[in-house]
Chain A
Amino acid sequence: MKITGAMLICLLLLIPAFAGADDAVYGYPIDNSYAATILGTPKGYRPDLHGDVPVKTMVLETDQDTPEIFYYDRGLRYTVAFQNRKAPLVFLIAGTGGSSRSSRMLALMNNLYCAGFHVVALPSPTFPNFIIDASTTHVPGNLPDDAADLYRVMEKIWSQVKGHIEVSDFFLAGYSLGGTEAAFVAKLDEERKVFDFRRVLMLNPAVNLYNSVSRVEGLLDRIPGGTRRIGAFYNHVMAKSTEFYRKGDFVAIDDDFLFAAYQAQLLNRDEAGGMIAVAFRIGSAGMIFASDVMTHGGYVVPKNRDLKNSDSLDDYFWTSLHLSFLDYFNEYFYPYFQSRHHGLTKEELLDTLSLKSIESYLASSAKIGVITNEDDFILAPRELDYLRRVFGPRLKVYPRGGHLGNLEYRDNMAFLIDRLRSSTW
């Protein structure tokens, strides 16, 4: 009896140890999912890269007249890094509101280039530059439409560069919403066969765009005064950070400063989550405004107004910042598509925003794989189960890292590159 009792205690003690065994081996250092998302991977944990990466931003000129207020926009900007010998080419798709040069894109680009790939990075279809120049509807978020736009852009880029580089095979990868879009682009490619992608990687993708954005928006529910008080909340966090900066001996607002703030637990969990949602709102404000100007939608800008470059945009900025993605969906996105497809119900539209709409393809296509994290807050627990069910062994789940925080961690990068190269999962 005594022995069994002791064993039981040992077992109980061991269970968490076993459950966490994978955890203990995995060396990504930040276990708070919001902090991981904000901080990313500290320098010492990233792969050592050698040599210069010839990163160049290119412009795909479009023939449409851009409104005066977008005078600086002269075509779709994408970023490339090309090898000077025959090599496989990876197309990358950025996440919500991301440009082709966002820090995560550049990290992927540098690592993939050093691993011997040609890289072509594309902005997210939700990025203002894409909305203005490359979107057929100028209303982003409809995954099949966005995938078709992305595919057309890829074809145009390929026809521009194919005389200059030698390509052995094509690959595709995207992160966050870009990961979800990669799945739709891959499916389109099965019909069109222009690239015949060898492998497609979805990095921390959303299963359902609407659900994931709702979860990010939900982070604002926990800030003081609720979603309508994001300005006050932002000021509060900035005041705290400024005070911390003033007291410490910091050279600049950089990674070291942010990491020190994290170690000092400057922000509590709700505040860290709130800041992620604020960053998301800043991106979505640009998206809403750009789309509204392009469609003359009368959503935040008067329908009949042609904005001049000297016009103040502050009021539109403030308004757009206070609109949630759910407002955008219900008041702008859905009516737009309803007016084009008579009788379209909200549920039908919502269904197209999910991986479930192409589930049978994803389940049967051996070339597509998913990498995500147990604590990625853009996924509901049942959505992670869904990914497990659909992708089976083609899904890799890391124990922590939040939303893309561990993307640059050396084990993650090595695994990602290995999955692109290998012929089996």
Chain B
Amino acid sequence: MCSNAIKFIFKTVLVLLLSGCAAGRAYLPDDIPPLHTVSEFSDDENVSRTGDPWEGFNRSMYKFNYEADRFVLLPVVAGYEKMVPRFARTGVSNFFTNIREVQTFYNCILQAKGKKSLKTLGRFLTNSTIGIGGLFDPATAFGWRRENENFDHTLEIWGVGTGSYLVLPILGPNTVRSASGFAVDGGVRWAIMNSIDPFGGTGASTEIETGITALETVDLRYRESFRYYDSDYPFEYSMVRYLFSQERELKILR
């Protein structure tokens, strides 16, 4: 079922890519001009600085995510909230957060952040042992704040530009760089899992890994409070794009 869903996503993406990326322009040659057009207000400073050359594709993807949420993810999350008690859900979240410490760890090293990488290693070891495989988070209780690093940030430190805005299926707002970073981090994780092969002896490692990926997706959606078009605002897409770039800017300042 999961692989069918993935196939469906890829097909949709492919169709959208082939159908062309450019968004429909505001005014076409055979339009009856409206009373006010944007050209009257070109003397003002633009607010958004995010380039969006693939807006047509991005907007279609935005809609796709809205529908995927509506028909698949949110109903699944609702079921998850109903069936699984809160403490277990927190345990699941802690578990996946703990796994992501590995990603933070090697990215800290790639960014030459010694202190942060040691702190992260300490957190990972503590939570994996005392925290019973990461189900609990005693490290935070000891006052070690969780760091969050990824390959996107590493690329940035290496001087790679953000690239254009890109809305990914399920994952939502991204840039070309953050999408590449996500792919690299995913690849590293896959390589680590492959070399450790923790479910190798079970004879059903593919099924178990698929189950874990599915659970992680549900956990991610469960923890994200954003709902597509909850605002009912017709310009939500533009607002989200703006806020996304603004949030990234603020994160960089930290």
Report whether B232 and A316 are in contact in the complex, using a CB–CB cutoff of 8 Å: no
Across the two chains, which residue of chain A brings its CB closest to B231? Answer: A99
Most chain A beta carbons < 10 A, residue from B32, B63, B232, B237: B232
- Given contact pairs A128-B233, A242-B253, A300 touches B36 in the complex (Cβ within 8 A): yes
Inter-subunit contact B36/A127 (CB<8 Å): no
Query: Which chain A residues lie closer than 8 Å to B25 at the CB level?
Result: 311-312
B40 within 8 A of A: yes
* Residue of B24, B36, B238, B246 touching A317 (CB-CB under 8 A): B238
The number of residue pairs between A and B whose CB atoms lie closer than 8 Å in the complex comes to 133
Mostly helix, strand, loop or mixed at chain B's interface?
loop
Complex contacts, A323 vs chain B, CB 8 Å: 36
User: Which interface class (under 10, 10 to 19, 20 to 34, 35 or more) fits B?
Assistant: 35 or more
User: Given A72-B66, A246-B253, A317-B238, A300–B34 Cβ distance below 8 Å?
Assistant: yes
- Which of these, A70, A299, A305, contacts B36 with CB under 8 Å? A299
From 218 to 259 in chain A, residues with beta carbon under 8 angstroms from any chain B beta carbon are 228-232, 234-235, 238, 242, 245-246, 253
Q: Is the CB of A72 within 8 A of B228?
A: yes
Task: Decide: B250 and A304 in contact? CB cutoff 8 A.
Answer: no
- Shortest CB–CB separation between residue B36 and chain A, in angstroms? 5
Option from B44, B59, B253 in Cβ contact (under 8 Å) with A312:
B59
Number of interface residues, chain A, beta carbon within 8 A: 55
A245 touching B250, Cβ below 8 Å: yes
Interface residues of A, dominant DSSP: helix
Contact with B along A294-312 (1 / 0, CB 8 A): 0000111111110111111
Given A286-B235, A308-B24: A71 touches B35 (CB 8 Å cut-off): no
Which residues of A lie under 8 Å from residue B233 when comparing CB positions?
A: 128, 286
- Kindly name the residue among B34, B56, B229, B238 whose own CB sees the greatest number of chain A CB atoms within 10 A: B34
List the B residue with the shortest CB-CB distance to A309.
Answer: B63
A322 near B40: Cβ-Cβ < 8 Å: yes
CB distance from A226 to the nearest CB of B (A): 10
Contact B250 A235 (CB under 8 A): no
Known contacts A231-B45, A245-B250, A312-B23; decide if A289 and B33 are in contact (CB<8 Å). Answer: no
- Chain A residues packing against B (C-beta within 8 Å): 69-73, 77, 99, 123, 127-129, 228-232, 234-235, 238, 242, 245-246, 253, 285-286, 289-290, 292-293, 298-305, 307-319, 322-323, 327, 331-332
Where the two chains meet, the residues of B that have a C-beta atom closer than 8 Å to any C-beta of A are 23-28, 30-38, 40-41, 43-48, 55-57, 59-60, 63, 66, 228-229, 231-235, 237-238, 246, 249-250, 253
